[in-house]
Amino acid sequence: MSAAPEGVADEGTVPEGIVVQARGIEHSFGRTPVLRGVDVEVAAGEVVALMGPSGSGKSTLLHLLSGILVPDSGEIHLLGHRLDRLGENARAGLRLSQMGFVFQFGDLAPELTLVENVELPLRLTGSTRSSARATALDLMSALRIDDVTDRRLNEVSGGQAQRAAVARALVHSPAVVFADEPTGSLDTLAGEQVLEALVSAAKDRGAAVLLVTHEMSVAAWADRDVQLRDGRVRTSALAPAGRR
């Protein structure tokens, strides 16, 4: 996994193997509280499904854990670094080097080919074009989209595009992958293919995965689930068997 940005000091005590941890997270939008003292942690190689109804704070928590937002109070540790105390540039550096993202609609750049999208994180972190291309092609082959590498977004299926988004999230070997409703726009078969690709590829690389979903069929692919209700963690349990 890539090193953290220079100047980011280790702080706090986090159990060995834990990649990302939140302690007592509180966050409001204006006068509306969204998270009310949330604790959550994800270990290396673990897939955790973050579940709850709309408005429960799932996406807000994901944005806080990835440093897109800063909590009103509480601590967020990423590989031992106090993410909540960092400035925007340092948080952006950690997102680039240590995090991968898969969103509901993929968010691939339509003007680029799929392989150009996949290799982009490597190019942004200084890899040569030939090295980035080779790594991207290897991963796309593993995810069974090596036959569409030179196509653009409007030339592939939704499932192929989302597997390319998974490849882009994993190509730089991040410590943690944040997936926000990654199958929400796909049919059942394509969704299962994307989840299989995400879970197996992440585990092969030892990445932690936080998977935001409201569907039990999606959570079944996780090692355990964390339930959010009214901004609080209500339960944390093993996901249904059969997909792990």
Kindly report, residue by residue over 69-94, the tens digit of the pLDDT: 999 999 999 987 899 999 999 999 99
Residue 5 lies in a domain: no
Q: What letter would DSSP give residue 136? A: H
Radius of gyration of the chain (CA): 17
pLDDT band of 242, cuts 50, 70, 90: very low
Give me the sheet containing 99-102, strands edge to edge.
99-102, 176-180, 208-212, 47-51, 224-229, 232-238
Identity of the amino acid at 193: Q
Residue 11 lies in a domain: no
Residue 244 lies in a domain: no
Residue 7 lies in a domain: no
- Where helices occur in 52-113 by DSSP H, the ranges are 58-65, 88-98
Whether 105 has a pLDDT exceeding 50, the answer reads yes
CATH number at residue 210: 3.40.50.300
Per the structure, the complete domain to which residue 26 belongs is given by: 18-236
Residue 96 lies in a domain: yes
As given in the structure block, the two tokens for residue 205 are 């690389």
Question: Rounded to whole angstroms, what are the CA distances from 82 to 8, 53, 175, 179?
Answer: 8, 29, 15, 22
Residue 10 lies in a domain: no
- What pLDDT, on the 0 to 100 scale, is given for residue 6? 46
Percent of the chain that is helix, strand, coil (3-state, to 5): 35, 25, 40
Count of structural domains, the chain: 1
- What pLDDT, on the 0 to 100 scale, is given for residue 104? 82
- What pLDDT, on the 0 to 100 scale, is given for residue 194? 87
**Can you name the residues that pair with 76 across neighbouring β-strands?**
22
Full-model pTM: 0.88
Residue 200 lies in a domain: yes
Residue 242 lies in a domain: no
Which tens digit of pLDDT belongs to each residue from 164-182? 999 999 999 999 999 998 8
